[in-house]
Amino acid sequence: MPAEWEPQAAVWLSWPHNRTTWSGHFAPIPAKFAEIAAVISRIEPVRINAAGPLQAPARRLIKRAGGDLANIAFFPHATDDCWCRDHGPIFVKNPRTGEVALTDWKFNAWGRKYPRYARDNRVPSRVGRALGLRRFSAGPILEGGSIDVNGAGLLLTTESCLLNPNRNPRMTRAAIEQTLRRYLGVDQVFWLGAGIAGDDTDGHVDDLSRFFRADGIVTAMERDPRDANYGPLQDNRRRLADLRTPNGRRFTIAELPMPHPCFWRGKRLPATYANFLIINGAVLMPAFGQPRRDAEAAAVLAGCFPGRQIIPIDCRDLVVGLGTLHCISQQQPA
């Protein structure tokens, strides 16, 4: 599995339509997706899973947002929801031949938290057929947001998610590691602890800690000891300090601030700057209408990704659905 910063052929999205996901706040969501698709389309191709009736309205919104429609392709793949990172294929690449293929894992809506996911489960096989790519069908349940790789054999994940009995209750830690090695071509799995407050995925790592280069990890940190995220993020920071690269060196760790807590109807939302999306030449960063924190986070990411434009995207509406930029997308390697 290539690192996200490696050259990409396209970014995949799944067009939003499930109103229950947004807790009465669906109205601004299609336009927000159109804004994101438009930004990406001006840099690289965008491929969108969308049932037939969704396509024309989506195309109009993307055009209105200034998207490059020549760089937008729709695929008539019906979905239950929009979280392409988790229900979409996880792409892999043969380093010797350059062949791109996809891995197809089972999806159960984050431990059967939501009733409908059969159409989401079919997305990887449909993408494989549409692109004519080889597909490797893996048995276990795995979501793309629960892992992060450096493209050089290392993978980050969390115990709270992958070891949760609502995913693969008959698999041991060792068995899970072996499956990740087999299907994603990784050599070593690094385990962090728990996720952030408000996260319905049981602690996806893409809300916490991400590789920004082969020997560098950027990790979310909460400064307020009274905040619910302080303890778990401190624990993850300690675990990162104990990790070593294959040559025995410590990783370079960049600390990313957490935004001030965000709420919707009294419920804590999983707002985090770590849910950024790397694309060709740029990084899309979730922003939360907090000028100082947003700017500080952008500065940290600019230091992690020199030469890439940092593009803040206001995600205050998006995070009501309990995810932001990385959650809704999946990169396809070149």
The helix/strand/coil state of 217 is strand
Which two tokens mark 185? 């071509």
Within-domain flag for 249? yes
pLDDT at 79: 98
Within-domain flag for 141? yes
Within-domain flag for 90? yes
How much helix, strand and coil, in percent to the nearest 5, is found in the chain? Answer: 30, 25, 40
The reply to whether 327 belongs to the active site is: yes
| Residue 332 · residue 278 · CB < 8 Å | no
Residue type, 333: P
What domain count does the chain have?
Answer: 1
pLDDT at 191: 98
pTM comes to 0.98
Residues 6+ positions from 178 with CB-CB distance below 8 Å: none
Instruction: State pLDDT tens for residues 164-213.
Output: 999 999 999 999 999 999 999 999 999 999 999 999 999 999 999 999 99
pLDDT at 143: 98
Q: Give me the mean pLDDT over the 284-301 stretch.
A: 98
Within-domain flag for 3? no
Within-domain flag for 115? yes
Within-domain flag for 1? no
pLDDT at 195: 97
Residues 6+ positions from 321 with CB-CB distance below 8 Å: 16, 21, 22, 23, 29, 82
Could you give the CA distance from residue 327 to residue 334 in angstroms, rounded to a whole number? 21
Could you give the CA distance from residue 180 to residue 8 in angstroms, rounded to a whole number? 22
CATH code: domain of residue 182: 3.75.10.10
| Residue 191 · residue 158 · CB < 8 Å | yes
pLDDT at 55: 98
| Residue 277 · residue 85 · CB < 8 Å | no
- Taking each helix axis as running N to C, give the angle between helix 29-41 and helix 52-64, from 0 to 180 degrees, rounded to the nearest 10: 70
Within-domain flag for 2? no
User: Which residue range(s) make up the domain with 145?
Assistant: 8-333
Of 100, 36, 38, residue with least CA distance to 71: 38
| From 82, 262, 304, 327, active-site residue | 327
pLDDT at 211: 98
Within-domain flag for 316? yes
